[in-house]
Amino acid sequence: MKFQKANCLKGEITVPGDKSISHRAVMFGALSEGKTEIINFLQGADCLSTIGCFRRLGIEIENKNHIITIQGKGLDGLCAPSGVLDTGNSGTTTRLISGILSAQPFTSTLTGDASIQTRPMKRIIEPLSLMGAHIESLHHNGCAPLLIEGQPLKGIHYHSKVASAQVKSAILLAGLYADGETSVTEPTLSRNHSELMLRSFGADIKIDGNTATIIPRPRLTGQKINVPGDISSAAYFIAAGLLVPGSDILIRNVGINPTRAGILKVAKAMGGHICLLNENRDGEPTADLHITYSPLHGTVIGGEIIPTLIDELPIIAIMAAAAEGTTIIKDAAELKVKESNRIDVMVQNLSAMGCSVTATEDGMIIEGKTPGVLPLKGALIHTHADHRIAMSFAIAALIAQGETEIPDSGCVSISYPSFYSDLHSLSESI
């Protein structure tokens, strides 16, 4: 797909449902008693992988008219799958379901695509093994495919080396089946969707600072879940509205959970004009986001804010390339083990577009634009099949001189199948 510089972006959009919440709603609904309905479920490949895995585990799931209906069977209602469980490209599915499968009275094999088979699973294998799980990396490299032999589990208090909602959630889900309380302490707080949603389904969860504790064997009850718009998807349009002169964009019903919404803080720190309208703080907090064009300046991004915007760092790097001054991204080594090595891939592609950018061990140093000069030039973008790279450079193309080509543009279907049509709806020049 080819892109040109945009004149301005104006209009109103609604982004797809939150990816993290969609995954969890399916999983928790499956482990609950009775019916769970999910409205505004993200119909992306990753979340559909979660549905596919739980169907193979014996759960009846209907996907019709944009509503997911799950007939839950309770904590002990899963059955042995007839074949391999394929998680596709989804790290969330792979890690969270591992916690559940560790406690089941059957053996499962879990695999995914080529990317998943390179992503680190030792971070969940270690704590789950401490709980008594039997998990084998079949290629003996700490990655999928995983052979999981369900076992009786014991409660532990695990001090995680990384602030990762996937690691935390895998342990808490295993803790549902343990013989005593299970606690996870993180170095900094990661997104808390699991804690909020498990509590709404009936789990007993205690929160003390960066420590989450779950009491085993709750009776989970089916719920009606209305999934807010994904701020990770909204992020591209936040950036587009800030970067393209004359732009004025309204994004409806976006999740603004403070453990996820770090991009709003960074955008404002860079001088971005973002107004929150119609805020709703019941359950998962939401708001409409009104974004208008804003000259940006460089900043330093690191420390405790990183887990709240780890998925948005590629598009933040685009914002930095168009800002005046230098932006430093640090404490973000986690970028190396996403769908691609996002530090290296961002540096390669930004360099191709004429940006002065340097990779570091845990981030990047980005030199912003010269006043009065277009910050970037069109280039051939290599996405490495990473959806967030493709979407980030589609936005970069809107402020670049000349044509930008993204050959593997279809990978956006992993998280945002309608991304290009939504982008087109805001500008006839694309």
Residue tagged active-site, from 18, 86, 288, 311:
311
pLDDT of residue 374: 77
CATH of the domain at 270: 3.65.10.10
Say if strands 107-111 and 134-137 run parallel, antiparallel, or are unpaired: unpaired
The verdict on 411 and 330 lying in the same domain is: yes
pLDDT above 80: residue 430: no
Residues 190 and 92 in one domain: yes
Look at residue 66 and tell me whether its pLDDT is greater than 90: no
Residue 198, token pair as written in the block? 């498990």
Q: What is the pLDDT of residues 111-124, one digit of tens each?
A: 999 999 999 999 99
**pLDDT tens-digit map of 146-179:** 999 999 999 999 999 999 999 999 999 999 999 9
Using 50, 70 and 90 to split pLDDT, how confident is the model at 395? very high
Q: What percent of the chain is modeled with pLDDT above 90?
A: 96
Domain boundary pick from 193, 226, 259: 226
pLDDT in tens, 223-242: 999 999 999 999 999 999 99
pLDDT score of 375? 85
Q: What is the pLDDT of residue 429?
A: 41
Q: Nearest 10 degrees: CA dihedral of 397, 398, 402, 406? A: 30
User: Are 214 and 247 part of one and the same domain?
Assistant: no
Is residue 175 domain-shared with residue 247, that is, in the same domain? no
Half-sphere exposure of 128 (CA within 13 A, CB side): 35
Q: Final residue of a domain: which of 197, 226, 255?
A: 226
Domain count for the chain: 2
* Band of pLDDT at residue 428, cut at 50, 70 and 90: low
Q: Specify burial of residue 176 (Cβ count, 10 A radius: 0-12, 13-18, 19+).
A: buried
**What is the residue range of 372's domain?**
2-16+228-426
**Boundary residue ending a domain (226, 242, 274):** 226
334 & 421 share domain: yes
Residues 79 and 184 in one domain: yes
Do residues 125 and 170 touch, judged by C-beta distance below 8 A? no
Q: What is the DSSP letter of 244?
A: S
Shared domain for 110 and 164, answered yes or no, is yes
| Statement to judge: residues 332 and 270 lie in one domain | yes
Strand arrangement, sheet containing 211-214? 157-159, 182-185, 211-214, 205-208
Both tokens of 80, joined, read 């042995």
**pLDDT at site 181:** 98
The whole-number average pLDDT for the span 405-428 is 94
Catalytic residue flag (residue 311): yes
Does one domain contain both 284 and 394?
A: yes
Q: What is the pTM of this model?
A: 0.92
pLDDT tens for 370-383 read 877 778 999 999 99
Same domain, residue pair 204 and 273: no
Are 211 and 294 in the same domain?
no
Are residues 389 and 409 both part of a single domain? yes
